[in-house]
Structure 1
Amino acid sequence: MSPPHVLVLTRDQDPHADHIRRLLAVRGARTSVFDNGDYLTRAHVELAYTARGLARRLLHTESGTLDLDSLTALWWRRPTPPRAHPAINDPSVAAYTAQESVHLITDLWEHVPCRAVPARESVFRRAAHKPSQLVLAAELGFEIPETLIATQADALWDFHNRHDGHIVTKPLGLPWVENLEAGHTVIRKCDLVSARDTAYAEALRFCPVIAQEYVPKRLELRVTVVGRRVFAAEIHSQNSNRSSVDWRRYDFGATPYAVHRLPEEIADLCLAMTDRLGLVFGAFDLVLTPDGRYVFLEINPNGQWLWIEERTGLPISEALCDLLLEGA
């Protein structure tokens, strides 16, 4: 019998993918890597149909030809989008061919007959929508922060006043802004809103943001669901001024990490939410308040975990290997 074969969709220099590939190799599994951005430049897809339906589904790369129907799992990590061939000089033609390539590659991975982690792209893209996450989380029984999503200054001013100025804002979708002229990227995180910030509230009419009441923190939690297993890590973000509002402003020297004993009812809520979202993997951000309440912030359907594993010893990578090989 052929060994399990996992296709990893990711870009170059992905430490998470490299780590999992090494673990899978130890287990005797075969892995292949493909970046969607290589389509038309370093790789080609061949789909052939007879009168009765699909006949073959092949991916031709520089390393050989891969029969996509032979895969046992597809792991969507961090691929770049398809782009136009560099030989095309006309910008309008380049944009058209890139978009046509996106249509093909996007649909291709929807129908490969194997397990998809964290889910099919259409599923995990939809699962990442934060407004819908909040509705579902509250419906399932999570406590969520009072939240406002609006493009009117008056609404933000009222929200700010009702919470005595203790509110934060965060991006609705993209966590970065690319400054093409300056050639650098600005990362957008969760930020406190000062009285001075509210003077610029009229700018909301140009772009929506999420505003939420600031939730007091004893700890922040990163809860990673892999299949039916739940791994909870506590982040002592309040030990550092730098990480106190958003732990992603890392201060590893002053911020301890540890395994957290998550109450069974909260773990069950995490599993229920991944189920409802159609995911087999998800990274939850929760807050444990000083008075012991667990508050849902969001779920990342394709979040990072390796740094959590390195600091806590939680066997997240081994669980992910189990998931990718399950049923193979």
Structure 2
Amino acid sequence: LYGWLLSQPQIRLFNRNHLPAVGNKPAMLILAQKLGLLIPDTLITNEAEELGKYSAGSAIAKPVAGGDFCYSLEQLHSSVQFRNGCAAMPAIVQNKLVAPEIRIYIVGNYAFAFEIRSQHLDYRVKPDAEIIPLATLPDEVELLRKLMAHLRMDFGAADFKTDPKTKQLVFLELNSSPMFVRFDQMVKGSLCEAMIQTLLG
């Protein structure tokens, strides 16, 4: 269906002309940093020796290509089989950030921000996170708009966590087709209404 939609230029789609970097987490991080967003200290590796340099509880890991949750580095290390000191696939390893965790949706000219409160490292693990709409948009919204404009995106959601030392929001990733139902429920349908108005416009 998506392929057919792409072949029909008269049908309005979100992110119809987005750049390939949208689907590449390392490229996204580098571009976000160049445009002024703070990013975590990041290492991409599959070497056990490199992973062993982190102190316990100081880092997290997630797949370079996405498609899975974020884990503590200890969880990753214990679940991956290493051969000759290397895992089959590299991981993105980053310093561990803290709450508050913020998700920002950009829909055309609209923006929505939410705080996510969860007991889990990755709130997606269980559907028990508390989602709180923010009355005031974070300053990072404008930098996020710059990033999305550069990537030719008109719809997306970016995740941020807080640096425990500086208390500043740190960019984690930008999703071009984010889940939105629970967030939309918390703003009584305003997110979906923004999507409809943007597509109709």
Q: Deviations over 1:273-301 (max 9, x none)?
A: 11011100011111134553111000101
Shift of 1:209: 1.4
Cross-structure match for 1:191: 71
Match of 1:128 among 5, 9, 23: 23
> Would you say 1:119 and 2:11 are equivalent positions?
no
1:109 aligns with 2:6: yes
1:250 partner letter: K
Name stretches of at least 5 consecutive residues in structure 2 with no aligned partner.
none
Change (3 A) 1:311 1:113: closer
Deviation of 1:313 (Å): 3.2
Deviation at 1:113, TM superposition (A): 4.1
Residue matched to 1:215: 97
Identify which range, 291-300 or 273-282, moves more after superposition: 291-300
Out of 185, 192, 199, the residue aligned to residue 317 of structure 1 is 192
Which residue is equivalent to 1:5? none
Q: For the residues of structure 2 that align with 1:213 and 1:323, how far apart are their CA atoms?
A: 37
- Look up the match of 2:131: 257
How far off its partner does 1:311 sit? 2.5
Once residues 26 and 69 of structure 2 are traced to their aligned partners in structure 1, the CA distance between those partners, rounded to angstroms, is 17
Question: In structure 2, the residue corresponding to 1:224 is in which secondary structure?
Answer: strand
Equivalence for 2:52: 157
Encode CA deviations 1:16-69: one digit per residue, 9 max, x unaligned: xxxxxxxxxxxxxxxxxxxx3xxxxxxxxxxxxxxxxxxxxxxxxxxxxxxxxx
Determine which structure has more spread, i.e. the larger CA radius of gyration: 1
Give the TM-score, by structure 2 length: 0.85
Per the alignment, do residues 132 and 110 of structure 1 end up closer, same or farther by CA in structure 2, a change over 3 Å counting? Answer: farther
State the structure with bigger RCO (CA 8 A, min sep 6), 1 or 2: 2
Unaligned stretches of 5+ residues in structure 1: 1-35, 37-78, 80-104, 176-187
Matched position secondary structure for 1:248: helix
**Secondary structure at 1:141's aligned position in 2?**
coil
Amino acid at match of 1:128: G
Is contact 1:284–1:298 with CA below 8 Å preserved after alignment?
A: yes
Equivalent residue for 2:61, pick from 162, 169, 173:
169
Matched residue of 1:117: which SS?
coil
2:124 paired residue number: 248
Asked if 1 retains the 8 angstrom alpha-carbon contact of 2:21 and 2:28, the reply is: no
CA RMSD, 1 decimal: 2.6
**What is the CA–CA distance in structure 2 between the aligned matches of 1:266 and 1:295, rounded to whole Å?**
9
Gap change, CA 1:297 and 1:154, over 3 Å in 2: same
In the superposition, relative to structure 1, how do residues 313 and 195 fare at CA in structure 2: closer, same or farther (>3 Å)?
closer
Give the Cα separation in 1 of the matches to 2:81 and 2:36. 32
